[in-house]
Amino acid sequence: MFKVNNLTYKYEKENKAINNINLDFSKGNMIGIIGANGSGKSTLFMNLVGILKPSEGSIFYNNKELSYKKKDLYNLRKEVGIVFQDPDKQIFYSRVYDDVAFSLRNIGVPEDKIKEKVHNALKLVNALDLIDKPVHFLSYGQKKRVAIASVIAMENKVVLLDEPTAGLDPKSTKAIVNILKNLCDNGIKVVISSHDMDLIYEICDYIYVLNKGSIVIEGNCMEVFKEANIIEEVGLNIPWLVKVHKNMNLPLFKKEEDLYNYFNQCVNTNQLTSLV
């Protein structure tokens, strides 16, 4: 798994986009990387897959330091998939089918297997109807779903997703959330960056909070969001379930359904009479 030691990355001489951070992705199954605009999330992801090379510090994957030789990067990317924030960065082919098939062809998967994997991946992201469409005909949200399908089709061991649900409608967001949960249930490590704190709170079990390139807090989801002052100071929102907990003096629930079940139980045992 990924372990990052004292990573610093500078695009220019003085400014540190990432400033001496340490990460250990064995701490969770669904890891959240959160931070305001410009806090360094995308820069971190690009360092993890070897697109950018650390200015200082080191990155280990399965106890081996990243090597930037073409062959080693090729092997890394067979195991680690990335969905970029901007789908145009990752879509190269003119037809959706060929785009999703691209990486599979690259690693020599037979064409009949590719056909099956492309269909399955597009179906999962609710985009099978786009299979024969030219990519330049697609909307932003449609391109985003195709980019996610390309990574799902590869069946990687680790999937990094930079803002996977940004710009998606509720139905597609729900589809992506279910896919991420499913990947996680199947033992795939999912690392996600997002500005949607309700989403991060719902699905992540370990979180790193970045601010101006540094990690200001890390821990399990509930621990991190209980630090409301820090979360707000770095320009992020508090998830609504945490607000309910703080402002209504109710238990801290992880899922919306847990809150409803709690209320139903209270109603059934006549504990809500004082509110009615």
Ligand X SMILES: Nc1ncnc2c1ncn2[C@@H]1O[C@H](COP(=O)(O)OP(=O)(O)OP(=O)(O)O)[C@@H](O)[C@H]1O
Beta strands in 62-188 (DSSP E): 64-65, 80-83, 158-162
- The correct pick among 28, 32, 35, 164 for binding ligand X (CB under 6 A) is 35
In terms of CB distance, is 52 or 244 closer to ligand X?
Answer: 52
- The correct pick among 11, 68, 74, 140 for binding ligand X (CB under 6 A) is 11
For residues 53 and 4, what is the distance between their CA atoms, to the nearest angstrom?
12
In terms of CB distance, is 50 or 245 closer to ligand X?
Answer: 50
Tell me which stretch binds ligand X (CB under 6 A): 11-19, 135-143, 236-244, 252-260: 11-19
Q: How many amino acids of this chain bind ligand X (CB under 6 A)?
A: 12
For residues 34 and 235, what is the distance between their CA atoms, to the nearest angstrom?
10
CB distance 42 to 35 below 8 Å: no
Asked whether position 37 contacts ligand X by CB under 6 A, the answer is yes
- The correct pick among 19, 43, 47, 126 for binding ligand X (CB under 6 A) is 43
Distance in Å, CB of 63 to ligand X, minimum: 26
- What is the pattern of x (binds ligand X, CB under 6 A) and - over residues 227-256? ------------------------------
In terms of CB distance, is 45 or 97 closer to ligand X?
Answer: 45
Tell me which stretch binds ligand X (CB under 6 A): 33-41, 69-77, 129-137, 240-248: 33-41
For residues 268 and 207, what is the distance between their CA atoms, to the nearest angstrom?
36
Asked whether position 85 contacts ligand X by CB under 6 A, the answer is yes
Distance in Å, CB of 273 to ligand X, minimum: 47
* DSSP assigned state of 220: E
- The correct pick among 4, 31, 41, 224 for binding ligand X (CB under 6 A) is 41
- Looking up tokens 């992506």 gives 176
Residue 168 CB coordination number (10 Å):
22
CB distance 69 to 239 below 8 Å: no
SS3 76: helix
Distance in Å, CB of 221 to ligand X, minimum: 19
Asked whether position 39 contacts ligand X by CB under 6 A, the answer is yes
In terms of CB distance, is 40 or 239 closer to ligand X?
Answer: 40
Distance in Å, CB of 24 to ligand X, minimum: 20
CB-count exposure of residue 38 (10 Å: 0-12, 13-18, 19+): middle
- Tell me the two tokens of residue 272: 């809500």
- CA neighbor of 216 nearest in space, from 13, 21, 3, 16: 21
Q: Which residues pair with 158 in a beta bridge?
A: 80, 189
CB distance 169 to 8 below 8 Å: no
Residues that bind ligand X (CB under 6 A): 11-12, 17, 35, 37-43, 85
